[in-house]
Amino acid sequence: MRHLILFIFIFTVIVLGFSTCKKHPRQPNIIIFLADDMGYGDPQCYMPDSKIPTPNIDNIAKEKTEDPFFLYFASTAPHTPIVPAKKFHGKSNAGPYGDLVHQTDYSLGEIIKALERNDFIENTIIIFTSDNGSPARAGDLFVHGDDYHQTGSVIKKYNHNPNSPWRGMKADIFEGGHRVPFIISWPKRIQKNIQINESICAIDIMASLASILNYKLPNNAAEDSYDISDLILGEEIGIDVGKEPLHEAIVHHSVDGSFAIRKGKWKMTPQPGSGGWASAPRGKDKVNTPGQLYDLDADPAETTNLWNSHQEVVEELKAILEKYKSKGRSVSSSK
C-alpha cells in the first residue's frame, strides 16, 4: 500500500488494570506504541553497539522534572521491509516476518525496562496496538517499487495465519483487516491481567485520554471517539462491563473506499467483495447480492452471507451508516 489510508480499527480490549479513584495529583506519562507503520527505527535493534537503547527516557529521568511526558512510538516493525535485525533471526517458527514480530515485542520491552529503571513505570499509561491486521507476508523478498508487497505468504510457507480466525487481511473490509491487539497498562490505576470483550476503535484513544487527563475537547473534535476511560479503569461499572456495547455501531473502511458497519453481532457492508487485497476482490467473488451481511457471533469468519434472509437488519444498518455520513459524526454532539 503506497498511500496513507484512513482505516477504522477495531480491537479486542485486553485491559491490564483496574482502579477505584480517577483523580490523581500528578498527570500520568503517556506512551502510545503503534506497531507497523510510518515510524523510524526501534530501540537498539538497528544499533547493536548502543549502550543506551532509550536515551530520551533516560535523559528525562536525569532532568528530574515533575512534568509528565508523552511518547508516540510509531514502530516500523513489523511492516515491510521485513528485515529483522540479526539478533532476532530464527526467534520464531514463522520466518522473517515472525522474527520481526519478536523484534517488535523486544522494542516494547526495552521501553518498559527504561520506565522501570527510572521509576516511571507506576504512573505511566502504556498503550500497545496496531493500525490494521496483518498482510500475512512471508518476508521472502523486498523490492522497493511497485512489487514491494510480493513477499510471499507466511500462511502458505510457515503455516502461520497472523489474522486467524478472522477472514481476509490488511486493506480488506473483512475482520482480518481490522482486528488487532489493544493492550493498556497503568500500574497505579489499572488492575493487572484483566481481559474485557468489547469492540472499540483506535479513535477512542483521543476522547479517553482527554477524559483521564480532565481535558475538555471542543465539540468539533474527536467526532467519532467514544470515551472508554470507565471501561479501562473499571470505574463504577466494575469489571463486569460490556453488557451493552459502548458504541452504537462501528464503521469499517477498506483500502478501496468500501464501508462496512457493525452493530452488536451484525456486520453489513453495502457492496460485495473484500474491498482490498484478499481473494474476494469487488465483483469477482461469488456473492450474488448487492452487499454482504454477516452474524459475527455465529459466523466470525464471515463465511455465510445473510443479506437476502435478513433484509430488515440490512436496512437498519444502512440507515445508521447514512446517519453518520450526513451528521459527520457518530458520537453525540452533546458530549
Contact residues: Ca ion, CB under 5 A: 36-37, 131-132
Least CB distance to Ca ion at residue 193 (A): 28
Residue with Cβ nearer Ca ion (171 or 212): 171
Least CB distance to Ca ion at residue 136 (A): 13
Sign of the torsion angle spanned by Cα atoms 278, 281, 285, 289: positive
Contact by Cβ (8 Å): 292, 269: yes
Contact by Cβ (8 Å): 112, 121: yes
Residue with Cβ nearer Ca ion (12 or 19): 12
Residue with Cβ nearer Ca ion (27 or 153): 153
Contact by Cβ (8 Å): 271, 257: no
Question: Of the candidates 214, 199, 189, which has an alpha carbon nearest to the alpha carbon of residue 125?
Answer: 189
Residue with Cβ nearer Ca ion (134 or 211): 134
Residue with Cβ nearer Ca ion (132 or 151): 132
Residue nearest to Ca ion (CB): 37
Question: Of the candidates 297, 270, 267, which has an alpha carbon nearest to the alpha carbon of residue 282?
Answer: 270
Least CB distance to Ca ion at residue 135 (A): 8
Burial class (CB in 10 A: 0-12, 13-18, 19+), 151: buried
Least CB distance to Ca ion at residue 72 (A): 15
Question: Of the candidates 19, 48, 7, which has an alpha carbon nearest to the alpha carbon of residue 212?
Answer: 19
C-alpha cell, 184: 493498556
Residue with Cβ nearer Ca ion (75 or 269): 75
Least CB distance to Ca ion at residue 132 (A): 5
Least CB distance to Ca ion at residue 175 (A): 16
Least CB distance to Ca ion at residue 148 (A): 14
